[in-house]
C-alpha cells in the first residue's frame, strides 16, 4: 500500500470522526457501562480487570486499556472513551485498503473502503463506546495477515494473524480465537491445503499470543476469582453462544441476524446474488474469492446460531462483503473511466 494512500486514509478518517467523538454526549446504557469501567481503571488502577459501581466488567480489557491509557494522560471524557472505536475503524479501513490493493489493485482497495464508508451501521459503531469495532479490527487484522502470508509467504502476515487473534480474545473472549480459526480452517479445507495449518502454527508468534492471552486470564482469575469465570467465561461466551442462564433460544433472536445482514449491508451484499449465479453456472472462483466467502460465512454462521445475538456482531464480516463488492465493481468502474477519458470533448476545427 502506498504511503500517500495511507496518509489520505488517516486524514479522511480523522476528519470524519473528529466531531462525532464529542457530540452527542454519552447517554446510552452500553456506552455508559464502558465509560464507568474506563474511569475505574484510571482512578483506581484496576488495570487487570475493571469494575463499574461494584459490578465486574463483562468484557476483557483491551478496549478499556486503550481508552484508559489516553485518559490517564488527557483525562476521561466522552471523546476519550469513544477513541478505541475510532482507532478500530482506522485499522479496519486500513487493512481493507491493503488487502483490496493486494487482490485487485488500488481501485479495488479504495472501492472497498468506499463501501465501508457507505454503510451507516459501520459509522455508527465507529463513534460508539462499545467493544464491537475494536473486535472487528482485531479479526480483520488477523484474517488479512493470514491471507497475505498464505498467498505471498510474508512472515509478517503470520505475525499479524496471531497478534490479531490475541487482540480479539482480549476484546471479547475466547470467541475471538474461535472465529479466526474457523474462517482459516474452512478456507484451507476448500483449497485442499489443510497442511498449511501446521506451518501457520510453526512460529514463535503463536507462543507470544498464548502467553499474552493466558497470562491475562490467569491474572484476572487471581484478581476476581470465581466471579470472573462466571461472568466473562460462562455467561458472556458459553451461555451466550449455546444458551443457558439468562440466554435462551427464540425465534426473534434466530431471525435478528439474518434480517440485519440483509438490511444493514445493502446494497453491497447484492454481490452475493451475482456470486451465487456464477456458482450455479459452474464458473470457478479464485482463491481470494474463496477466502472472502469463507470470511463472511464463518462470522455470520457462528452468530446466527448463537442463543443471544445483536446485529452489530456482523461487523467483522463487513470488510469481506465490501471487498467482494469492490472486486465486482472495479472492472466496470475502470471501463467507465477509460471510456470517459477517450470520449471526444467537441468538434475539431478544420
Strand extents, DSSP E, the chain = 51-52, 55-56
Q: How far apart are CA 347 and CA 275, in angstroms?
A: 43
Query: Residue 230 to residues 168, 210, 246, 263, 307: CA-CA distances in angstroms?
Result: 20, 22, 12, 35, 17
pLDDT at 65: 97
Residue in 213, 215, 207, 233 with CA at minimum distance from that of residue 169: 213
CA torsion sign for 164, 6, 291, 264 is positive
Q: What are phi and psi of 48, to 5 degrees?
A: -70, -50
- Interhelix angle 132-152/287-304, rounded to 10 degrees, is 150
pTM: 0.92
pLDDT at 337: 62
- Residues facing residue 55 across a β-bridge: 52
Residue-level length of the chain: 350
Instruction: Name the DSSP letter for residue 190.
Output: H
Return all residues near 312 (Cβ < 8 A) that are at least 6 apart.
Answer: 121, 125, 130, 132
pLDDT at 257: 83
User: Cα angle at 47 between 41 and 50, to 5 degrees?
Assistant: 55
What is the pairing mode between strands 55-56 and 51-52?
Answer: antiparallel
pLDDT at 338: 62
Instruction: Name the DSSP letter for residue 56.
Output: E
3 state SS of 285: coil
pLDDT at 349: 45
Place of cell 467537441: 346
In the numeric block, which cell numbers belong to residue 226?
A: 470465581
Q: What are phi and psi of 220, to 5 degrees?
A: -70, -40
Place of cell 431471525: 255
pLDDT at 288: 95
pLDDT in tens, the chain (350 residues): 788 888 899 999 888 898 888 888 888 889 999 999 999 999 999 999 999 988 999 999 999 999 999 999 999 999 999 999 999 999 999 999 999 999 999 999 999 999 999 999 999 999 999 999 999 999 999 999 999 999 998 889 999 999 999 999 999 998 889 999 999 999 999 999 999 999 999 999 999 999 999 999 999 999 999 999 888 888 777 767 666 555 555 656 668 888 889 999 999 999 999 999 998 998 889 999 999 999 999 999 888 877 667 889 999 999 999 999 999 998 877 666 666 666 665 554 43
Amino acid at each position: 500500500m502506498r504511503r500517500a494512500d495511507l496518509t489520505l486514509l488517516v486524514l479522511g478518517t480523522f476528519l470524519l470522526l473528529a466531531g462525532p467523538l464529542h457530540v452527542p454526549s454519552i447517554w446510552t446504557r452500553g456506552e455508559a457501562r464502558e465509560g464507568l469501567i474506563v474511569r475505574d481503571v484510571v482512578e483506581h488502577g484496576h488495570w487487570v480487570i475493571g469494575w463499574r459501581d461494584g459490578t465486574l466488567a463483562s468484557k476483557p480489557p483491551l478496549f478499556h486499556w486503550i481508552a484508559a491509557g489516553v485518559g490517564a494522560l488527557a483525562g476521561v471524557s466522552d471523546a476519550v472513551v469513544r477513541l478505541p472505536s475510532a482507532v478500530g475503524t482506522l485499522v479496519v479501513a486500513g487493512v481493507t485498503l491493503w488487502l483490496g490493493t493486494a487482490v485487485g489493485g488500488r481501485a479495488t482497495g479504495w472501492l472497498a473502503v468506499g463501501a465501508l464508508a457507505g454503510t451507516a451501521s459501520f459509522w455508527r459503531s465507529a463513534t460508539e463506546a462499545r467493544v464491537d469495532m475494536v473486535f472487528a479490527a482485531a479479526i480483520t487484522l488477523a484474517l488479512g495477515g493470514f491471507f497475505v502470508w498464505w498467498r505471498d509467504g510474508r512472515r509478517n502476515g503470520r505475525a499479524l494473524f496471531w497478534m490479531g487473534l490475541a487482540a480479539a480474545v482480549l476484546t471479547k473472549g475466547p470467541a475471538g480465537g474461535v472465529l479466526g480459526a474457523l474462517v482459516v480452517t474452512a478456507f484451507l479445507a476448500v483449497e485442499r491445503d489443510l497442511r498449511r495449518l501446521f506451518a501457520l502454527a510453526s512460529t514463535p508468534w503463536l507462543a507470544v499470543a498464548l502467553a499474552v492471552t493466558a497470562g491475562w486470564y490467569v491474572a484476572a482469575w487471581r484478581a476476581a476469582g470465581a466471579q470472573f469465570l462466571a461472568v466473562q467465561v460462562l455467561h458472556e461466551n458459553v451461555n451466550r453462544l449455546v444458551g443457558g442462564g439468562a440466554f435462551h433460544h427464540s425465534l426473534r433472536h434466530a431471525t435478528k441476524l439474518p434480517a440485519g445482514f440483509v438490511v444493514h449491508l445493502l446494497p453491497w451484499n447484492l454481490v452475493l446474488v451475482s456470486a451465487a449465479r456464477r456458482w450455479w453456472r459452474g464458473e470457478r472462483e479464485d482463491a481470494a474469492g474463496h477466502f472472502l466467502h469463507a470470511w463472511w460465512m464463518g462470522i455470520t454462521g457462528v452468530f446466527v446460531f448463537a442463543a443471544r445475538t445483536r446485529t452489530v456482531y456482523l461487523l467483522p464480516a463487513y470488510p469481506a462483503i465490501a471487498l467482494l463488492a469492490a472486486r465486482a465493481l472495479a472492472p466496470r468502474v475502470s471501463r467507465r473511466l477509460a471510456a470517459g477519458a477517450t470520449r471526444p470533448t467537441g468538434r475539431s476545427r478544420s
